[in-house]
Amino acid sequence: MTSLFSSPFSSAVHSHDFGLRSLLDPRFKLWRIESGVARSLTWLEDGTIITLGIWGAGDIVGQALSCVDPYQVECLTKVTATPLSSEQWQPDAALLLSHLQQMEQLAVIRSHRKVDAMMIKLLNWLAKRFGREVEAGNLIDLKLTHQDIADVLGTTRVTVTRILGQFEEQGVIERSLRRIVLRESEAWHYEI
């Protein structure tokens, strides 16, 4: 999948490290994420950010997969990623299918009419994809801001703050800093 190529960077393909909130260099149209978590995003004329997907190790992201403009990939954690030359990359059907299915899952999550239902589905999804089991439940350690969650769900930061507070009171989650522990519950076992 990787090979020598010349532009825009010279010499052999190698992975790059990105800090929190940095953007994957858009001169490369395809990146393979080696570690960490990033989101693909666009924005509307009024500046509203839309999170198109949330991606982790093994996922392929980049403008070459998308037809929306603007398009960016922003790191939600520290990320290591390898640029792929789109001419030389053989699109991998299994990877594209997985990409497609993840977008579909987010579409279903966003379709819930009530924001609290949407949010519990999103937390379950994040826990399954990126979570780590801890004693209290499943740790989502993505340093997501309330605005980030709002950008995924198409709601407002204020609403996210309110509902996370409600979930904490109800014992559905525990929080410290930007880490969320989703406690074992029926909701957690619910399959989307």
Q: Binding residues for a copy of itself, per CB under 8 A?
A: 42, 44, 46, 48, 50, 52, 65-69, 90-94, 96-97, 99-101, 103-108, 110-113, 154, 191-192
Smallest gap from Cβ 111 to a copy of itself, in A, equals: 4
Smallest gap from Cβ 36 to a copy of itself, in A, equals: 22
Which is closer to a copy of itself, CB of 151 or CB of 181? 151
Smallest gap from Cβ 181 to a copy of itself, in A, equals: 25
Which is closer to a copy of itself, CB of 3 or CB of 190? 190
Order of strands across the sheet with 16-18?
16-18, 79-84, 30-35, 60-61
Which is closer to a copy of itself, CB of 24 or CB of 139? 24
**CB atoms inside a 10 Å sphere around CB 22:** 15
Query: Distance between CA atoms of 82 and 16, rounded to whole angstroms?
Result: 6
Smallest gap from Cβ 94 to a copy of itself, in A, equals: 8
Which is closer to a copy of itself, CB of 17 or CB of 92? 92
**CB atoms inside a 10 Å sphere around CB 142:** 22
How many Cα atoms within 13 Å fall on the side-chain side of residue 7? 1
**Closest to 55 (Cα-Cα) out of 69, 65, 43:** 65
Query: Distance between CA atoms of 40 and 63, rounded to whole angstroms?
Result: 9
